Structure 1
Amino acid sequence: MKSYLHLANGSTFEGNLLTETTVPATGEIVFYTGMTGYQEVLTDPSYKDQIVIFTYPLIGNYGINKVDFESKKPHVAGVIVYEGGMVHSHFQAEYSLADYLNKWGIPLLSHVDTRAVVKKIRKEGSMQAAISGDESFHIAGSGSNPKLQPYISQVSTSEIVSFGKEGKHVVLMDFGYKKSILDSLLAQGCRVTVVPYDTSFDQVQELKPDGVLLSNGPGDPKQLLYLLDNLKKIISHFPSMGICLGHQLTALAFGGNTKKMLFGHRGANQPVVDLKTNKVYMSSQNHSYEVDEPSLSNTPLQVRFRNVNDGTVEGLMHKDLPVFTTQYHPEANPGPVESSLLFKDFMQMINDYSGREKVYA
């Protein structure tokens, strides 16, 4: 069925709707540059209510399987592709991309001029968009400032959940965590307790963790300013690692600043240099916001990782405390796994500071 992608700047693009949903879908439009990994992208809570346009033209060619989900359901508001209705082929495939999205009422629009759309986003920035069957559909407003609070409550666990039985105990603060982060911790032999994003310091302390990990999640970190005092207390008391949103919240908690990027980084092919080792990693990324580097000058944080392409901050380390962060995703999925060694670094940091709480509390 002929349908349309509408951008807040007034542009309209025609395409074919491959799913049966007829309700207009709205959200911030962003683009993803990876050739594979669409299943992980669809189920990553960080994409909550965003319309994702895939730059690689053949999306859906290996179907959907039962093992590559990052959460229990897709979180995107809509999907834009050039070719998404081909016959899929993979030994693990259970159903097609269109069938999966149709099950959840998420529109899949194909045969859109994705190159033209991405050029608009790169020039004018991420913006509100809509998928509709009405060519004259109008988007109210032109901004893209979603309310994060409802998103976090929708993607975070509402109860404490435990995984694993032995090993170092890590509390995973859930702002919308990817399953691959949990899997990476379990692969290090950890016992993991997933807790709601607003769990208090006293509640975390009662769990007696050896370390704390602040997860990824959707939206603007500044809409969680009310959590910063609690988070600073937690990450100042336990060896801590922050990923994506967790990285941004760590920067804010110690006095830094964050700002929105023009169109963000999303893809499985982003080069990052580790300033500590001078090694370059290819990384998986998904973020609209960045840490403002000049704001770090009066904080105890220093840059450890930097984006090779545009020089933006990709990770931090505390000058005194056992705390480090990454803006990118060391758990990958989708993407290269070379930076997964950072989970070993996290374990080593926990071991180094084991029993030394009074030194850094």
Structure 2
Amino acid sequence: MSWRILAWSALGCVVPLAVIGGAWLWLLPGSPAWGGAPAISRDESEATLAALKPPKRKRPLIAIIGINDRSETTDYLMPYGILARADVADVLTLATQPGPVTLYPALKVQPHATIAAFDAEHPDGADFVIVPAMTPEDDAVALQWIRSQAGKGAIVIGVCVGAMVLANTGLLDGRRSTTHWYSVRDLKKHAAIRYAADRRLVVDRGVATTTGITASMPMALTLIEAIAGRARAEAVARDIGLAEWDARHRSDAFRFTRPFALTAIANTLALWNREQLGIALTSGIDEVSLALTADAWSRTYRSRAVTFAATADAQTSRSGLRILPDRIATDWPATRTPPATTALPPAQALDETLRAIDARYGPRTGDFVAIQLEYPR
């Protein structure tokens, strides 16, 4: 009898929850229409470039800060890789503490220096400070250092949810800003910040912000153009496979939809069907293509990308960053090896990875990943 009562009690709890959950899903919007965004006016583009002119040095110093425990993969690696290959600035990756930086959802790297070592070598501060998404968003050491760099005249750039880190510094108060679509509601809780829709990047009086993860590409190219001119930016754009990089964006194409929620639920519940996909880590690997590939495969809710190498030694990337392997192995099972994309130009690597995700898990999962990356397909 007691088991019967317990079963009916459990059913009495589950049914209302199922009804509520079903109603919630039904009320969510359907799939947004993918499509182009209106071009940005020449005046606005020129104003953006003028606002990003190096404030101190002819050859600027760019610092990318991360916290050791949890900084976003592409936000941290993509600005570094694109800016370093342009060779128009000195670019350094930093961490708040000694030791490697564990990136999420994939990869681990050895930064060039700690913020303390950077301050000792460069007491006048950086020209530009790039802030990726990091958890927690209110790390006291990171916030204080970012404020100090702004106080020394650096232009501060919050990539993706790095905008929320900047919101916690107070640097966005009274300014226009954007962020990853999923964090817009949190950004709007800061009454002093003015959210700017339909812009992939926003610059306001020495502080810049971008939309989600893949916006690092247009932001980095815009910064290169501001530093070294259009021709250099076009050359780097060809190298990474990107045709255009202005601030155009359709904010309404990225939101929490019914297909997005259903894919997240279905893939999360498929506990029996998880994969660990191996990516060979080699010397000279393109850190941008690697970041996009590993990030995308680790956002399916069905798979996680790990790197492997024959030894535990860090491998030096194309632009000189030391990347640590997750596993020590000389080979990986073919059935759990994703298509090789790290040798492709970064934009092509991402497109090919999304197509591979479509083929492996279905187009809904491919779209699910693209929306997380805020990447128009």
Q: TM-score, normalised by structure 2?
A: 0.26
The structure whose RCO (Cα within 8 Å, separation 6+) is larger is: 2
Structure showing greater radius of gyration is 2
From the two aligned structures, give the one with the greater strand fraction: 1
From the two aligned structures, give the one with the greater helix fraction: 2
